[in-house]
Amino acid sequence: MEFWDEKMETMSRDEMTAFQGERLRETVKYTYDNTDFYRQKLNDAGIAPGDIRSLEEITRLPFMTKSDLRDNYPYGLCAIPREDVIRVHASSGTTGKPTPVFYSKRDLENWGHCMARTFYTAGVRKTDVCQIALGYSLFTGAFGHHMGAERIGAMVIPTSSGHTERQVMVIRDFKTTVLHCTPTYAITIAEKMMEMGVHRSEVSLRLGIHGAEPMTEELRKEVEEKLGSVAIRDFGLTEMGGPGVAIECLEKDGYHVNEDFYFPEIIDPETLTPLPEGETGELVFTTLQKEGVPIIRYRTRDITHLNRTPCVCGRTLIRMGEIKGRTDDMMIIGGVNFFPSQLESVLLDFEEVAPHYLIRLSKKGRLDKVSVDVETTPSYWANRQDEDIKSLSERVQNRIKDIIGFTIDIRFVEPMTIARSEGKAKRVLDER
């Protein structure tokens, strides 16, 4: 078996816990000493930094949320002098001010290391040609993937996102073997390949690394089939520094978390109490080796579970389950809670249905109503009869009713009418 960092990736649980405890102690003290924000927060909670001596004591520490980051925009959480910051990235800030992260030289080195470790886990090697079809911008994604592939010694092609025709040309002409992009952009690229008459057998793609948004198993199948390659999910978030937090190994049985850098917990989002291992709840992360913007107990809003049993691949790094959704994406319709990804799973299970849909939320009187616009595959659409669409709608509707528990209006639309994504797809349109 091959590892990028065998010692940390295969460490015994006891050793890892001791390592994390030590790093937590240092992080709490460091953060207390170097940010007014955290000093204040701990003082308010009546905790002295020296009180936190072991990993279990993490539960005494207060949580941080997105609004802590926003309220301290731009430099408030930065724990190093401005002149020691050598890189800045930020999240999109679609719902407010962007959240910046500042990297010290060591932060960038560690980030590159985490990226390389994750990609190696997914099977990227020096012989690969890696096409980074993620946006090079303030976002973390492209730069993180770029560093990781470069560190492994692969050949890196920084195409950025967009210009889909050119992406296809590069894939074909440069014999790209690894495609780095969001799952929905992978589908967009695959469709463009078909449109340009480039068959998957003419390209050298063997692996796709897809993150930044959910990819259900059903969508994964579509991506793999259309591109003729293996699709692996990767996970990260700006607040932790970007991607490189976790990745699936080729077993595709959970994401291995780089837990020596990012300590994960699962809490009940209502009561905020930690949940026993294996239970599903909100994911919380603490950075254990950050200098620029150390973060303690950050509530990600992502819903998943953790599993400490060692993996068949030989890694002992804790595994995180698939992200079911985000607490802020959860919809409650007629008293039933559901996430867009649950709907995606049901829809894509029908072979007539294409992986393009838009969930619309509206109001009918005082009641919330959900409907969904969905494309069928082009061949189904071309050969359809009116009765076919009606019966397909009924079958899909019944399946949704059985599996999720409510009735939803389905509207089948012509292929290529739902907007294609070059990054994270927008799946929900709130018209209320």
- Name the residues that contact ligand ADP, by CB under 6 A: 91-92, 139-141, 211-214, 233, 235-238, 242-243, 300, 302, 323, 326
Q: Which two tokens stand for residue 274?
A: 């930690």
- CB nearer Zn ion, residue 189 or residue 247: 247
Report the residue from 190, 311, 323, 372 that binds Zn ion according to the rule CB under 5 A: 311
Least separation in angstroms between residue 294's CB and ligand ADP is 17
249 binds Zn ion per the rule CB under 5 A = yes
Least separation in angstroms between residue 298's CB and ligand ADP is 10
311 interface partner picked from Zn ion, ligand ADP, none, CB below 5 to 8 A per type: Zn ion
Least separation in angstroms between residue 252's CB and Zn ion is 9
Least separation in angstroms between residue 290's CB and Zn ion is 25
- CB nearer Zn ion, residue 293 or residue 318: 318
358 binds Zn ion per the rule CB under 5 A = no
Least separation in angstroms between residue 279's CB and ligand ADP is 19
209 interface partner picked from Zn ion, ligand ADP, none, CB below 5 to 8 A per type: none
How far apart (Å, rounded) are the C-alpha atoms in residues 18 and 312? 24
How far apart (Å, rounded) are the C-alpha atoms in residues 425 and 419? 9
Distances (CA, A) of 284 to 93, 304, 360: 20, 10, 30
247 binds Zn ion per the rule CB under 5 A = no
Least separation in angstroms between residue 322's CB and ligand ADP is 7
Give just the sign of the alpha carbon dihedral 42, 46, 47, 48: positive
How far apart (Å, rounded) are the C-alpha atoms in residues 189 and 195? 10
**Nearest CA-CA partner of 338 in 406, 387, 283, 280:** 406
Q: Are 8 and 260 in contact (CB under 8 A)?
A: yes
Exposure letters 400-430 (e unless 16+ CB within 10 A, then b):
beeebeeebebebbebeebeebbbbbebeee
246 binds Zn ion per the rule CB under 5 A = no
How far apart (Å, rounded) are the C-alpha atoms in residues 112 and 106? 10
Find the Cα–Cα–Cα–Cα dihedral 49, 112, 244, 5, rounded to 10°: -90
293 interface partner picked from ligand ADP, Zn ion, none, CB below 5 to 8 A per type: none
249 interface partner picked from ligand ADP, Zn ion, none, CB below 5 to 8 A per type: Zn ion
Other C-beta atoms closer than 10 Å to the C-beta of 108 total 17
240 binds Zn ion per the rule CB under 5 A = no
- CB nearer ligand ADP, residue 193 or residue 237: 237
219 binds Zn ion per the rule CB under 5 A = no
- CB nearer ligand ADP, residue 235 or residue 261: 235
235 interface partner picked from Zn ion, ligand ADP, none, CB below 5 to 8 A per type: ligand ADP
DSSP string of 140-180, one letter each residue = SHHHHHHHHHHHHTPEEE---S--HHHHHHHHHHTT--EEE
Least separation in angstroms between residue 233's CB and Zn ion is 13
317 binds Zn ion per the rule CB under 5 A = no
Least separation in angstroms between residue 142's CB and ligand ADP is 9
DSSP category for residue 213:
S
Chain residues in the site for Zn ion (CB under 5 A) = 249, 251, 311, 313, 315
